[in-house]
Structure 1
């Protein structure tokens, strides 16, 4: 049965609140501009950079971001009186890297990637609100390696379609030099896209009081489908989705979950009551990935099939687009990202 896309999210600055979209351009690195910026805590005295994500820095949930005219507008919703009713911070969506200093960033064990430090006034603005030194980093032309044996999509031989030949399983793409380029990612965790279903969200909400349903935004997906005709957790075995009968996503791994699910986005702290125990509730029956046996699973990581990235062969997704499961695995995939 055909499902539909119900929500699209992009996160230009990783770990801050997501932005809902009506449509999104999809390329080899997922939704355009997704997680091209990231915040790092600067630890003294060696100025070591520590990644900032919602699980380790729940205050990130207090920052709202919006896109307009090539600018990311960041608004802080913290409780501090001195920061109320302030003007939002404006961050250029595509900064001029010629004016920025380069740094090395190591995220989730990928080989240290080149990135750019945005400097003042951006670092100062975030540091004042977090209460400790913070650095805003831009990925620019940096490329993070996709690790492991199971998460990177496999290069397969061309397959013939019933209506003509096409490369249905080509997951790497051709660069400007006519050479095949291996998949790489920005500051996304381990893959370009994260897909979740409303059916599974309903199962999570059924574990909570009726007046406290679980919001999807806490799972931080990129693409949400309604799950029509699919039971809760059916996505555990999804291997390929086809959108509008032509655009394909290869689903290669499970998303294993952490304490970020328990964060209250209104306070920037662990939630109280039942909403503060969502992770524990999922631990009871959702530890279904043998490669990460202590973490519950919700959602699947995906790689878009994009053939000619250098020639703009990306595609657009919209709310309401039709989604079909065109391949299913017979066994669950096993989490494999060295050191994570």
Structure 2
């Protein structure tokens, strides 16, 4: 197999950015889902803004603008499908905002809290005016979220522990396989540092479930790493446990451990051109997947497409390893049974 595309989503829920190559770190692709939008409710509570609940997210494009200094910029362009004439406007923000300039805020995603930072109100107002709801815009910064449950967590070797966890990791590595895994951490990604999908499985959807004139695109599944699936059958990834990606030239293996299935929601039915739920066949993708893809025994009401994973980054690797489109991918471990979802309450 080969990698056919790589994607990063600096602001969760908006359109992704394609990359020719990228560093993979214990937290995934740098800058992936490090910003997030929340709807501010009348009672002052915050609820996540994602494309399934706010389809107008599909009308925001993101672009990373490199700089000669350390101040790369993120440009977010909104294209209004409801305007009588083509209309778009752009907000530009630092890709890595200065934390002392921001106020701290604690937010929670899927029950896993994170200490984050509140972006300027002017930025939140810009998003709110285009989404039609009051918005709080946050940046994760040096914060992170813990992976909840146990089956979705990788072994300690895949995610170097933060300071203060050394003793627990040492205990884990010296203990039995039945002991509880140590903590693993995320940005605002849902349940894994990476999401890996296969073009073979997408082809199965488009050739057996949808009309030839209404194919769905891989972008709707919001992956980080897409492989062509050559030599594999559709849905073979359900059983992938470990991938080896590319070659380092010095004998080291670049590994990604796959720990859980990606269970799907109504986001698959969004029409990205209108920023609304799709009509016709493209509005039935989730239903057609649910027909026979509700295969995770821990989340039996939602269909599965893709696998969550964690890059394995060892000491002396500079915090990660580089992969690129066209790199070879090998399945180096297959599970005998599908993994079981156990994120509590999600």
| Fold shared, TM-score > 0.5 on shorter chain | yes
1:153 maps onto 2:128 in alignment: no
Shift of 1:21: 0.7
Shift of 1:120: 2.6
State the TM-score, normalizing by the size of structure 1: 0.91
1:333 maps onto 2:339 in alignment: yes
**Residue segments in structure 2 that go unaligned for 5+ positions in a row:** 67-71, 170-181, 248-252
Q: Distance in 1 between matches of 2:162 and 2:105?
A: 25
Q: Distance in 1 between matches of 2:159 and 2:278?
A: 41
1:282 maps onto 2:258 in alignment: no
1:258 maps onto 2:265 in alignment: yes
- Runs of 4 or more, structure 1, over 3 Å off, are 80-87, 174-182
Q: Distance in 1 between matches of 2:19 and 2:273?
A: 21
Preserved contact between residue 7 and residue 20 of structure 1 (Cα < 8 Å): yes
Aligned position for 1:105: 107
Aligned position for 1:67: 64
For residues 95-244 of structure 1, the aligned pairs below 5 Å read 95-110=97-112, 112-155=113-156, 170-173=157-160, 179=166, 182-206=183-207, 207-244=209-246
Preserved contact between residue 241 and residue 325 of structure 1 (Cα < 8 Å): yes
Aligned position for 2:179: none
Q: 1:50 aligns with which of 22, 47, 63?
A: 47
Preserved contact between residue 174 and residue 307 of structure 1 (Cα < 8 Å): no
Q: Distance in 1 between matches of 2:279 and 2:153?
A: 38
Tell me how large the CA RMSD over aligned residues is.
Answer: 1.8
Shift of 1:154: 2.4
Deviations 1:282-301 (A, max 9, x none): 11110111101111000000
Preserved contact between residue 251 and residue 300 of structure 1 (Cα < 8 Å): yes
Deviations 1:2-52 (A, max 9, x none): x000010100000000111101111010001000000001111x2211100
**Residue segments in structure 1 that go unaligned for 5+ positions in a row:** 156-169
Q: 2:20 aligns with which of 18, 22, 27?
A: 22
Aligned position for 1:166: none
SS of corresponding position for 2:281: helix
SS of corresponding position for 1:326: strand
SS of corresponding position for 1:289: coil
Shift of 1:175: 5.3
Q: Distance in 2 between matches of 1:98 and 1:4?
A: 42
Aligned position for 2:254: 247
1:270 maps onto 2:277 in alignment: yes
200-209 or 76-85, which deviates more: 76-85
Shift of 1:83: 9.6
Q: 2:298 aligns with which of 273, 288, 291?
A: 291
Q: Distance in 1 between matches of 2:334 and 2:134?
A: 46
Deviations 1:289-322 (A, max 9, x none): 110111100000001101238x723111100000
Aligned position for 2:324: 318
Preserved contact between residue 161 and residue 183 of structure 2 (Cα < 8 Å): no
**Change beyond 3 A, Cα 1:217–1:244:** same
Q: Between Structure 1 and Structure 2, how many residues are aligned?
A: 321
Q: Distance in 1 between matches of 2:13 and 2:165?
A: 35
Q: Distance in 2 between matches of 1:231 and 1:142?
A: 39
Q: Distance in 1 between matches of 2:86 and 2:138?
A: 25
